[in-house]
């Protein structure tokens, strides 16, 4: 329909149909993105409740509130929910689903029905896992190490593993859809060298999703069969080898760390460019570093196993390879900084998150180098140092990028602006709360506080109390966007097609976009982040 002169409200993907059925059976990638956003918000809150209980318990050295068994279940369920039901799907299934077709100028992903199936698989997996929680929980840790998980614990291991197995196929299909979409659905003129960096990072993520997730699936299948049939594929008492489980598990779970950070890097590239009004410095290197991280990410898994009895020569090779991953990561950080240099910087909320990401990711990455070095790793292995390190990447990195991206694209998704002042306040609260929560954990870990313990020597209490206090601030910081973003759907200022003056194709159609994204076929004649190609009038949507 022609919208150039049509009065508001125009027909868009949100208001075209409104029945529940039209949402549950939708094949529109934008609506599926909304379904995913609601689902992962639920899982984020659920995982957050477990984190809250952990921090309350750790306020006192003697373990006052819950038993050690309950405590084991709390951190296990926190890990399982947060890793598989929030972090892995977070940006790809929400912002990725919403933006990839829009950014490359396609009407939808290549396989829209498969896209909907992904969401149903994700929800089915989620239901299994939530059932495992309600029925009594799992206390193996999120890693399901054998033979603990197969022979010694009483929790609902098979149910939880089934949930992860099913949800895993959902993410595999998402990755498959993205790869084919990016290869085959680009608009005329949208060459590989003109793709936004968000697309490059999601492409790299999809490769990992497709190649690593099936290995986790088969590993969990073997764990379930071993537990069910008492055959010892990983149990040394029955002829198996528990280290093989660790190899298989980390062959997925280390690349999965990059599933959890690469999309965030893509978001940050977009934000840095949009709020400094400059082309990303070293575009080609930033794009290639995403692919390099995906490739190197497959070759470093055994750095989780330096103390598991692997050969010292293997450990040295894996240590060296782990150092090499920092090279493409550093390329990104340097190039983002160089992009900001002498840019026309606008201090909007998304940029707060992007700058927070760069700082926290750098800290998380640098402490990762401590853990990649053999001697240091033996000292801090399985301590709070490791906890702090990966929370700096996962929470300080990925969650910051997710929130930054959500704010930046909110006008496109909802058609309304979020309240800017509240946005900045929340971003600052989250940054302060995050550091107060996790920085003390570096110190705790270095001093010798092991992970997964609910009692500790009294001299650690000061740092634990600091961390718990920080967690309460962080919690408030996360609740604020939830409130004001929901408020803004009805009451926010109406957003035009391109409120930020950005360059991407998604900003050249109306906000919210029509059902098939573009009413006029886009033809791309400009390079990525070419601000001279943006229409001067921000109310103009050339392809709407």
Partner 1 sequence: MPSHPESAVERSGAAQVAIQFDNAGQQRVAANMGMWVFLSTEVMFFGGLFLSYLVYRHMHLNSFIAGSNDLNFWIGTINTMVLLCSSFTMALAVRSAQVGKNRALVLLLSLTLVLGLVFLGLKFFEYWQHYEAHHIPGPGFVFDFPHLHHLASERGVELFMFLYFVMTGLHALHMLVGVSLITWLIIQARKRAFTPAWHNPVENIGLYWHFVDIVWIYLYPMLYLIDLSKK
- The 3-state DSSP class for residue 210 equals helix
Between 249 and 283, name the residue whose CB sits nearer to partner 1.
249
- Binding test (CB under 8 A) with partner 1, winner from 54, 66, 123, 211: 211
Contact indicator for 27, 115 with CB cutoff of 8 Å: yes
Which residue among 45, 49, 225, 473 contacts partner 1 (CB under 8 A)? Answer: 225
Q: Which residues pair with 416 in a beta bridge?
A: 494
* Contacting residue, 179, 199, 204, 321, with partner 1 by CB under 8 A: 179
Of 57-65, 235-243, 448-456, 533-541, the window that binds partner 1 (rule: CB under 8 A) is 235-243
Using CA atoms, how far apart are residues 39 and 119, in angstroms rounded to an integer? 9
- Cβ within 8 Å of residue 399, ≥6 positions away: 90
Task: Kindly write out the interface string for residues 53-92 of this chain, putting x where it contacts partner 1 by CB under 8 A and - elsewhere.
Answer: ----------------------------------------
Nearest residue (CB) to partner 1, 500 versus 518 = 518
Piece of 151-159, 170-178, 350-358, 421-429 that binds partner 1 (CB under 8 A): 170-178
Minimum distance from residue 393 beta carbon to partner 1 (Å): 24
User: Minimum distance from CB of 360 to partner 1 (Å)?
Assistant: 32
Backbone angles phi, psi at 450, to 5 degrees: -75, 155
CB of 172 to partner 1, least distance (A): 5
**Euclidean distance between CA atoms 52 and 542, whole angstroms:** 48
Selected range binding partner 1 among 129-137, 204-212, 377-385, 401-409, rule: CB under 8 A: 204-212
Structure tokens at 276: 């400094």
Among 238, 308, 338, 479, binds partner 1 (CB under 8 A): 238
If the CB atoms of residues 209 and 280 are measured against partner 1, the closer one turns out to be: 209
Residues 6+ apart with CB under 8 A from 414: 14, 485, 488, 489, 492, 495, 512
* Contact criterion met (CB below 8 Å) for 392 and 361: yes
DSSP codes joined into one string, 260-317: HHHHHHHHHHHHHHHHHTSPPTTHHHHHHHHHHHHHHHTT-GGGG-TTTT--HHHHHH
Across-strand partners of 494? 416
Q: Least Å distance between CB 42 and partner 1?
A: 27
Q: Is 210 in the site for partner 1 (CB under 8 A)?
A: yes
520 is a site residue for partner 1 (CB under 8 A): no
Query: 284 to each of 240, 280, 328, 461, 472, how far by Cα in Å?
Result: 47, 9, 12, 48, 41
Name the one range near partner 1 by CB under 8 A: 7-15, 76-84, 177-185, 345-353: 177-185
Of 236, 334, 234, 350, the closest CA to residue 285 belongs to: 334
Q: Which of 230, 452, 491, 520 binds partner 1 (CB under 8 A)?
A: 230
- For partner 1, the binding residue among 42, 61, 70, 241 (CB under 8 A) is 241
Stretch that binds partner 1, among 40-48, 156-164, 181-189, 311-319 (CB under 8 A): 181-189
Number of residues that bind partner 1 (CB under 8 A): 43
215 is an interface residue for partner 1 by CB under 8 A: yes
Question: Using CB under 8 A, which of the segments 124-132, 174-182, 196-204, 302-310 binds partner 1?
Answer: 174-182
- Our finding on whether 172 is near partner 1 (CB under 8 A) is yes
Burial status of residue 401 (CB atoms within 10 A of its CB: 0-12, 13-18, 19 or more):
buried
Which of 10, 49, 60, 111 touches partner 1 by CB under 8 A? Answer: 111
Which residues sit opposite 450 in a β-bridge?
Answer: 383
Q: Shortest approach of partner 1 to residue 125 CB, angstroms?
A: 17
Furthest C-alpha separation in the chain: 76
| Spatial contact of 447 and 310, defined as CB atoms under 8 Å apart | no
Q: How many of the other CB atoms lie within 10 Å of CB of 5?
A: 5
Pair 87, 260: CB distance under 8 Å? yes
Choose one: 48-56, 238-246, 334-342, 479-487; the region binding partner 1 (CB under 8 A): 238-246
User: Which residues would be at the binding site for partner 1 (CB under 8 A)?
Assistant: 106-114, 172, 176-177, 179-180, 183-185, 210-215, 217-219, 221-222, 225, 229-233, 238-241, 244, 247-248, 251, 516
């Amino acid at each position: 329909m022609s919208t150039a002169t049509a009065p508001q409200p125009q027909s868009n993907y949100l208001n075209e149909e409104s029945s529940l059925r039209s949402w549950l059976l939708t094949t529109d990638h934008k609506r599926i993105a909304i379904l995913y956003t609601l689902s992962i918000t639920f899982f984020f809150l659920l995982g957050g409740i477990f984190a809250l209980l952990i921090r309350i318990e750790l306020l006192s050295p003697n373990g006052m509130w819950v038993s050690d068994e309950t405590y084991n279940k709390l951190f296990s369920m926190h890990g399982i929910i947060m890793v598989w039901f929030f972090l892995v799907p977070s940006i790809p299934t929400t912002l990725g689903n919403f933006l990839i077709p829009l950014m490359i100028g396609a009407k939808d992903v290549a396989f829209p029905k498969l896209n909907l199936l992904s969401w149903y698989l994700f929800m089915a997996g989620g239901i299994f896992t939530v059932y495992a929680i309600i029925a009594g929980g799992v206390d193996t840790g999120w890693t399901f190490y054998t033979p603990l998980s197969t022979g010694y614990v009483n929790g609902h291991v098979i149910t939880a593993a089934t949930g992860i197995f099913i949800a895993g196929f959902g993410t595999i299909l998402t990755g498959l859809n993205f790869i084919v979409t990016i290869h085959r659905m680009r608009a005329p003129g949208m060459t590989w060298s003109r793709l936004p960096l968000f697309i490059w990072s999601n492409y790299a993520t999809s490769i990992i999703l497709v190649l690593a997730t099936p290995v986790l699936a088969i590993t969990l299948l073997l764990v379930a069969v071993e537990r069910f049939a008492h055959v010892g594929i990983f149990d040394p008492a029955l002829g198996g080898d528990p280290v093989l489980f660790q190899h298989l598990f980390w062959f997925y779970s280390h690349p999965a760390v990059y599933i959890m950070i690469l999309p965030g890097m893509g978001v940050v590239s977009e934000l840095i460019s949009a709020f400094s009004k400059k082309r990303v410095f070293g575009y080609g290197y930033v794009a290639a570093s995403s692919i390099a991280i995906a490739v190197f990410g497959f070759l470093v898994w055994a750095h989780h196993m330096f103390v598991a009895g692997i050969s010292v020569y293997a450990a040295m090779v894996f240590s060296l390879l782990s150092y090499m991953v920092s090279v493409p990561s550093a390329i990104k950080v340097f190039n983002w900084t160089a992009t900001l240099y002498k840019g026309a910087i606008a201090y909007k909320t998304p940029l707060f998150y992007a700058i927070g990401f760069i700082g926290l990711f750098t800290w998380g990455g640098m402490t990762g180098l401590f853990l990649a070095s053999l001697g240091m790793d033996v000292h801090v292995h399985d301590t709070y140092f490791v906890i702090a390190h990966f929370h700096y990447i996962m929470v300080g990195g990925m969650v910051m990028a997710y929130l930054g991206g959500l704010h930046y694209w909110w006008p496109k998704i909802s058609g309304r602006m979020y309240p800017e002042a509240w946005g900045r306040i929340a971003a600052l609260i989250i940054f302060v709360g995050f550091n107060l929560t996790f920085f003390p954990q570096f110190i705790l870990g270095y001093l010798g506080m092991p992970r997964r313990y609910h009692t500790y020597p009294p001299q650690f209490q000061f740092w634990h109390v600091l961390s718990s206090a920080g967690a309460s601030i962080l919690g408030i910081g996360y609740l604020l966007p939830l409130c004001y973003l929901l408020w803004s759907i009805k009451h926010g200022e109406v957003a035009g097609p391109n409120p930020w003056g950005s360059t991407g194709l998604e900003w050249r159609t109306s906000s919210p976009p029509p059902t098939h994204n573009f009413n006029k076929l886009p033809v791309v004649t400009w390079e990525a982040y070419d601000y001279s190609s943006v229409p001067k009038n921000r109310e103009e949507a050339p392809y709407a």
